[in-house]
Structure 1
Amino acid sequence: MNVKINVLMLLILSFVTACQSENAATTVTEVVDGDTIRIEKDGQEESVRLLLVDTPETNHPSLPVQPFGKEASAFAEKRLEGEEIKLEYDGPKRDKYDRLLAYIWIDDSLFNEELLEKGLARYAYEYDPPYEYSERLKEAERKARQEDRGVWSRQGYVTEEGFQADARASFKDRDCSDFDSQVEAQRFFEEEGGPEQDPHQLDGNDQDGVVCESL
């Protein structure tokens, strides 16, 4: 009887230890791009692919840098690099490239959701549905699309397969009358590439990097 109890206790302890290990905090050592990071886990470096989100390419061997790819990467670097995060798994733990598949939690916020909210990613790659946060993430994408944020400001840019490889994808032209404030216009201007691109010609003739100054 005592042997059975001891075995049961060992099994419970092993299960608890495994759960603690799965949910343990880890540090981001590198941001590869908007949807892929590297972490230090159990003394080894691991690549992590964010679940259910896809950001425009910046490092693809056969594709050019896509619009909003740099913005997604920069946001991920600012938010995650060197920071302590927690991973949450849902469905298959690894993809075909042996990367961990996970939600990323930082400061009690779901980073996958933040990317979608800002229009820096599309909802994608349901490997083994249903997923716990699928509706929550789809709602974040819906709001970004409704407000033409980021990738959604370019008509036809986001597709079922990904993003149009051609950076010259058509987009909804904007002028200063489309914004409620100079701050809103400035944020949009910077998301669209800033003074280096300015496809909407919001900067005017002075080219000083400050747009819609009359608002």
Structure 2
Amino acid sequence: MKNIIFALFISTLVLSACTEETSTNIIENEDIEALISSTIENAEKHDVSKFEEYELESVIDGDTIRIKYNGSSEKVRFLLVDTPETNHETLGEQPYGPEAKEFTKQLLAGQDTVYLEFDVSYRDKYKRLLAYIYTKEGISVQEQLLKNGLARVAYIYDPNTKHVDWFKSIQKTAQQSAIGIWSVEDYVTNRGYDKEAYYAITEKNKDDKKTENDKSITNNSSCVIKGNINSKGNKIYHMPGQRDYDNTIAEEMFCTEKEAEDGGFLPAKQ
């Protein structure tokens, strides 16, 4: 079900091919809602009874939330995953960044608390908390971001590698399905996301589609044989230059006489 939904999303990629710093809007909010509905229904539910529960304050980005931790408001960076940026000071907004944020936001909608599974180290060099995030129902947020092509496995630093093999296996399936961030070749790199590569490829796709459409129009313009069904039910085709050609209203157009005759039409006598 999810792959079908995403296949529809990917068909709209060319609409977002723009070199300006504007919102990509690749997936509409109602599409995210459908994806979330499918995710909640079908996602594996993990046992969170041994994890720590904290008050959820807000969703900052696709891979970052804010919680109430020991009486203080703190950022939590999702371990082992990286989603495209939405408002980075140097990178700006990246394709699929807003979609990843909206996905996380809607997946956690109505959740006043979240469950955190810590690894060995609790914080990164920026003093942010590091954790695996779960809903009350036991849905892994990282798992679903990866599964739906909205995040890559990244920032693998010892000793926090508990779920790296699990996450990589999920990512591999998303890559093979070419969904989300994996739908545009060379957009995902070992260093992050290459926005220029994304726009170059989507622009090329748009140009290729235009060329295809132009060819189709050219080919169709050569199909000038008019097929008409008269009042007696006779199927007649008219060639350009024949007496009644200009006055004939075509039920069908044909490119060759053989095509017309194969369709059951006979040549006009005049």
TM-score (norm 1): 0.67
CA offset at residue 172 of structure 1? 11
Cα distance, 1:40 vs. partner?
1.1
Partner of 2:147: 117
Instruction: Say whether 1:61 aligns with 2:92.
Output: no
Q: Deviations over 1:135-178 (max 9, x none)?
A: 1110110000000110000100000000003251425988xxxx
Question: In the TM superposition, what is the alpha-carbon distance from 1:132 to its structure 2 partner?
Answer: 2.0
- CA offsets 1:82-140 (integer angstroms, 9 cap, x no match): 51211111132111111001000111121111100000000000121462211111011
Which of 191, 194, 199 matches 1:168? 199
Contact 1:155/1:171 (CA < 8 Å) preserved in 2?
no
**Which residue of the other structure, out of 110, 118, 130, is the alignment partner of 1:101?**
130
Query: RMSD over aligned Cα, in angstroms?
Result: 2.6
* Equivalent-residue separation in structure 2 for 1:129 and 1:200 (angstroms): 48
Unpaired segments ≥5 residues, structure 1: 1-21, 175-196, 205-215
Q: Report the counterpart of residue 92 of structure 1 in structure 2.
A: 121
Q: Larger Cα Rg: Structure 1 or Structure 2? A: 2
Corresponding position of 1:78: 106
1:35 equivalent in structure 2: 63
Which moves more between the two structures, 148-157 or 106-115?
106-115
Q: 1:46 to 1:85 in 2, by over 3 A?
A: same
Structure 1 stretches of at least 4 aligned residues deviating more than 3 Å after TM superposition: 171-174
Q: Distance in 2 between matches of 1:158 and 1:37?
A: 23
Normalised by the size of structure 2, how large is the TM-score? Answer: 0.54
Separation of aligned partners in 1, 2:114 and 2:199:
36
Contact in 2 for aligned 1:29/1:81 (Cα 8 Å): no
Is 1:23 matched with 2:51? yes
Compute the displacement of 1:36 (Å): 0.5
In structure 2, the CA distance between the partners of 1:149 and 1:157, relative to structure 1 (3 Å rule), is same
* Percent identity (aligned): 42
Q: Distance in 2 between matches of 1:172 and 1:108?
A: 40
